[in-house]
Structure 1
Amino acid sequence: MKSTILKASHINKFFHEPVEFQALKDINFEINSGEFLTIVGKSGCGKSTLLYILSTMDTEYDGTLEINGQLLTGQTQNQLAKFRNEHIGFVFQFHYLLPEFTALQNVMLPALKLGKYSKKETEERAYEKLRLLGVEEQALKASNKLSGGQQQRVAIARALINDPAVIMGDEPTGNLDKANSQVVFDILKDLSRNFNQTIIAVTHDPDFAENSDRIIEMSDGQIIRQ
């Protein structure tokens, strides 16, 4: 039986400068373990604002957010930072790998920060994730020596290192050509289907969205279809 991993209830978001503007209007949805959800809509519809709140980066909102059975609304920044590192993996449009670090070192970083495993265990886990993503042979290369597609796969391996409850993607294929976009999509789909990994991704790519498990479509700060 699938369990609820994330629950957003009555999320409202206001910006007050330069004039008051309501960016999100009564957002309600749940996502189950292993589900691959995409959020779509035109630029300015509020999807990135919503993802920022779901990722616990933005705490200035009304409503409640629960992830992995834990109420996150009202927690301190330090508590949220610890929660993010342990329970949320991030994949962005740009990979944000440290260029002077090897692929292996980049993947290890979140686990070293978490401090749950020894350095040896962390290295073994990093190799395991790189193997899963098909880039184990690139482990000891500096990340700036990798192709764009390889860099994004390393970024996904990094997102997986702490076995997060959910991976959140902000245009995860937005900086890739069609062939590499398909590779990244197939990887995410495989993680969802075969490893029960929950994924939430904001995307402008209609093919990416249509092949996910569920689409939330937004317009003017509201969910208009899901």
Structure 2
Amino acid sequence: MKALTANKITKYFHDPETFQVLKDVSFDVNKGEFVAIVGKSGSGKSTLLYLLSTMDTSYEGNIVINDTMVTGLTQNQLAKFRNEHIGFVFQFHYLLPEFSVLDNIMLPALKLKKKSKDEIEARAMELLTLLDIKGHETKKASKISGGQQQRVAIARALINEPAIIMGDEPTGNLDSKNTKIVFDIFRQLAREKGQTIIAVTHDDEFAANCDRIIEMVDGKIIY
């Protein structure tokens, strides 16, 4: 069962001059698959991820996520779709530093308004246990370690039980010990929970342990 299909994706940048950054990119990702996108700087991998995440809509071709054609949806429709179906983990955690760990995790679900606050809090506590950060829920996000902050960011990405988790260098700021912890969390989510994970990474070891590597060179996929 496919979680995502990208079909003939072409993308241009026009500043300072016109430059083709993605060239006729097509691929599928199956449900529960853990995929790494790799390539040198400038290969187009982060640009591709931003298109897949629906945050950039200026491209040719089409993208289907969770059986929904997202190409052509309005910004409001895309914002709602993202919050419901896609979880993000960036290189920098982007937590709200003055909010508690628990509040940071709950925010996307409170915004979605599909569950009661009590249900959302119970789900957040489950995720804190899963990610081994239970006991830190009342601390301000700024008062926990970098590795713990990234795990909180993963919990926040999971709170709405998205079809796909997308990571842009999700271990880029972490030491080797925390990189392994984050990788193992992703692996467990894919294998045991059926989550689909697409991660852009420069880390060769991280990529080598994924189910599949999509390598990009000069805006094209080479397998």
1:113 corresponds in structure 2 to 111
Q: In 1, distance between residues paired with 2:121 and 2:193?
A: 21
2:153 corresponds in structure 1 to 155
1:185 to 168, 171, 183: 183
Gaps of 5+ in 2: none
1:32 corresponds in structure 2 to 30
Gaps of 5+ in 1: none
The within-5 A match list for 1:30-179 is 30-179=28-177
How far the C-alpha of 1:16 sits from its partner, in A, is 1.4
TM-score norm. by structure 1 comes to 0.98
- Deviations 1:77-99, CA, capped at 9 Å, x for gaps: 00000000000000000111100
1:216 corresponds in structure 2 to 214
CA RMSD in angstroms, aligned pairs only: 0.5
How far the C-alpha of 1:137 sits from its partner, in A, is 1.1
Amino acid at match of 2:54: T
Amino acid at match of 2:124: A
Q: In 2, distance between residues paired with 1:62 and 1:218?
A: 18
Q: In 1, distance between residues paired with 2:177 and 2:132?
A: 15
Q: In 1, distance between residues paired with 2:75 and 2:126?
A: 31
For 1:98, what is the secondary structure of its paired residue?
Answer: coil
For 2:135, what is the secondary structure of its paired residue?
Answer: helix
Q: In 1, distance between residues paired with 2:93 and 2:18?
A: 34
For 1:49, what is the secondary structure of its paired residue?
Answer: helix
Amino acid at match of 1:42: K
1:4 to 2, 7, 11: 2
- Deviations 1:131-179, CA, capped at 9 Å, x for gaps: 1111111111111110111111111000000000000000000000011
For 2:51, what is the secondary structure of its paired residue?
Answer: helix
For 1:82, what is the secondary structure of its paired residue?
Answer: helix
Q: In 2, distance between residues paired with 1:17 and 1:110?
A: 34
Q: In 2, distance between residues paired with 1:17 and 1:179?
A: 40
**Percentage of pairs with the same residue:** 66
